[in-house]
Amino acid sequence: MTVSTTLVAAPFFQELVEWLPRHDEPARPLVALSTITADGYPDTRHVLLSEFDETGFYFHTDARSRKIAQLTTAPRASFAVAWPELGRQLVVLGDTEPAPVSEAQRAYANRSPYLKTLAWLNSAEFAVLPLEERVEAWRTFDEEHQSDSLLPPATWAGILLRPTRVTLWHAHPATASQRLEYTLEAEGTWASSILPG
């Protein structure tokens, strides 16, 4: 299913704007992203949620990664992120597709110097090096490159997740928690329901 309307029209959009950081804020939410293996099992790992806009949710990773291989075969995913201290949890399920090149470049430019270097060096070959060699290779790379002028490597891959279900969990110290769940219907409207926490 493809979202036929922008998320701006969704009843939960403003709440997401309040919960999620602006694109230019360096601290990004760490989300548990689940994809589907060839055997049909969920495969979960943590990634940074790079951006969120009226189209959907974006994350970025290495094009050689297992998650990209899985999304190529089965372009569906979900993620969850919690803010326990605020009594909030967000769960999103939907369809995925490659992010536009311009968005991927913008997201890379907003990454910290460490994460920019990581995108260049985080390979299977690098991972198996002894610690001393990895530290030295990292130091050498940083000395030879200015992070603010680095461009994304060819292996930098962006993914757009277009939601088909969004669940917002609200806790309250004086009563039971509550979930507000929104499901995208065929005509592009969002059906809502209230569920126990």
148 confidence band (pLDDT: 50, 70, 90): confident
Note the pLDDT tens digit of each residue in 100-123. 999 999 999 999 999 999 999 999
Reported as a single tens digit per residue, the pLDDT across 49-77 is 999 999 999 999 999 999 999 999 999 99
Indicate the pLDDT class of residue 3, thresholds 50, 70 and 90: very low
pLDDT digits (tens, 9 = 90+) for 185-196: 988 899 999 999
- The answer to whether residues 15 and 67 touch, using CB atoms and an 8 Å cutoff, is no
Question: Under DSSP, is residue 185 helix (H, G, I), strand (E, B) or coil?
Answer: coil
Residue 147 pLDDT level (bands cut at 50, 70, 90) = confident
Please give the share of the chain, as a percent, with pLDDT higher than 70: 97
Domains of the chain: 7-112+154-196 (2.30.110.10)
Q: Are 110 and 21 in contact (CB under 8 A)?
A: no
Rounded mean pLDDT, 9-20: 94
What span, in angstroms and rounded, lies between the C-alpha atoms of 133 and 62? Answer: 21
Residue 12 has pLDDT above 60, yes or no: yes
Buried b (16+ CB within 10 A) or exposed e, 77-106: bbbbbbeeeeebbbbbbbbbebbeeebbeb
Residue 83 has pLDDT above 80, yes or no: yes
